[in-house]
Amino acid sequence: MDTTKYKSTVTEAFNNAAAKYDQLGVEFFTPMGRRLVERADPQPGQRVLDVGCGRGASLFAAAERVGPSGHALGIDIAPAMVEEARRQAAALGTRHVEVRVMDGEHPDLPPASFDVVTGGYSLIFLPDAPAALPRYAALLRRGGRIAFTSPVFTEDTFPFLPPVFTELIPERLLRNLPADWRPDALKRRFNSWLQDPDDLTRTMLRAGFDDVEVADEHIDLRAPDGVTWVDWSHTQGMRLLWQHLPEYESRQLRHRLVAELDRLRGDGPLRLPTPVRFVRASVAD
């Protein structure tokens, strides 16, 4: 993998999406972020680092927990995301929240300076996440905790989307993705250490963590209708697919997804239970 190209692609995608990211009436990242913080369980007065903070789905939930006597720092590689999170912090008046542009693969922060590290669908996307994990162990104080989320990877579903989309998105369309984001490449990169909880536990232990907990839950992805979901998908990870589809295939896929999602929702809002893996571990006291 060309890590420089990979990071520039990610940065560009999220810079372009920042203004609308998680703002179009679809609920997923915010409830997932709150659940992640519940599992991380930061205490009043503690210092929290949120990696790949985006607009702050986990960051502000953590800030609520630690209170004004604590501190919540969010880092993100996309400057536009950082700016949106800063605006939100200013609007909320949360003076104990700080946001910085930073490469999460190599966090430039003092050792043993945090009590909790969180990463909502972010840590796993680092070019070599297993190699980066020891750097986060080093940032934690004795007894500190890391907690992050991941899709539940399987061999027969396309990751990062609710399972229903494995059937709704024709596999031939995925050939339009950049090579590093095609299903085979994703499976080699993610399934190798995230699919099997035992492999994941061993990776965490090698990184310097202990007391590893792996738990899978369903988080409801909710949207008013199919159109809203498809518009929202242009602002998150699926954005890469939309960007690389020929125009006629993009129109066809949009029509198919809207029709099928509206069929699934019936007369009410769309509700798609989405499997999420929650990982929590600590460093030795």
HSE-CB at 112 with a 13 A cutoff on CA atoms is: 5
What is the Cα–Cα distance from 219 to 162, expressed in whole angstroms?
10
What is the Cα–Cα distance from 173 to 170, expressed in whole angstroms?
6
Task: Indicate if the pLDDT at residue 1 is higher than 90.
Answer: no
Among 3.40.50.12160, 3.40.50.1010, 3.40.190.10, 3.40.50.150, what is the CATH number of 3-283? 3.40.50.150
Q: What is the pTM of this model?
A: 0.93
Distance separating the N- and C-terminal Cα atoms of the chain: 37
Of 4-8, 71-75, 158-162, 171-175, the least confident: 158-162
Domain locations along the chain? 3-283
63, 81, 75, 65: which is closest to 107 by C-alpha? 75
**Mean per-residue pLDDT over the chain, rounded:** 91
pLDDT tier at 62 (50, 70, 90 boundaries)?
very high
What is the Cα–Cα distance from 113 to 49, expressed in whole angstroms?
9
Task: Indicate if the pLDDT at residue 20 is higher than 90.
Answer: no
Report whether 33 contacts 61 (CB < 8 A). Answer: yes
Report whether 114 contacts 146 (CB < 8 A). Answer: no
